Amino acid sequence: QKEVEQNSGPLSVPEGAIASLNCTYSDRGSQSFFWYRQYSGKSPELIMFIYSNGDKEDGRFTAQLNKASQYVSLLIRDSQPSDSATYLCAVRGLTGGGNKLTFGTGTQLKVEL
């Protein structure tokens, strides 16, 4: 079982719709959870992170964390073509002094006009 799992996609949504990206993780001791966006040929950039159960909102983005189910998701409201990218879920555990992140392989999102 992979430590951090994401559906590779592509996930296609129409412009203006809500995109829902999901991630599961195996280590129950995981502390913090991150969503990065990566455009083709570019490096990952942080969208947001969450460490408490529940929802965290930042503009059009909402991260949701359910530690009991070991599940974290990212909702993108009013999806735009510029949101088309690969979204990486990353999890911080206790290994490496708590400094390491383990990344999923990413979900490709396509927002169609």
Partner 1 sequence: DVKVTQSSRYLVKRTGEKVFLECVQDMDHENMFWYRQDPGLGLRLIYFSYDVKMKEKGDIPEGYSVSREKKERFSLILESASTNQTSMYLCASSFQAGGGNIQYFGAGTRLSVL
The answer to whether residues 66 and 16 touch, using CB atoms and an 8 Å cutoff, is: no
Binders of partner 1 among residues 51 to 90 (CB under 8 A) are 51, 88, 90
Task: Please state the closest distance from residue 51 (CB atom) to partner 1, in A.
Answer: 5
Please, which residues have CB within 8 angstroms of residue 91's CB and are 6 or more apart in sequence?
3, 4, 25, 27, 30, 32, 33, 34, 72, 101, 102
- Number of residues near partner 1 (by CB under 8 A): 25
Binders of partner 1 among residues 16 to 55 (CB under 8 A) are 31-32, 34, 42-46, 49, 51
Among 106, 107, 109, 111, binds partner 1 (CB under 8 A): 106
Site residues for partner 1 per CB under 8 A? 8, 31-32, 34, 42-46, 49, 51, 88, 90, 92, 96-106
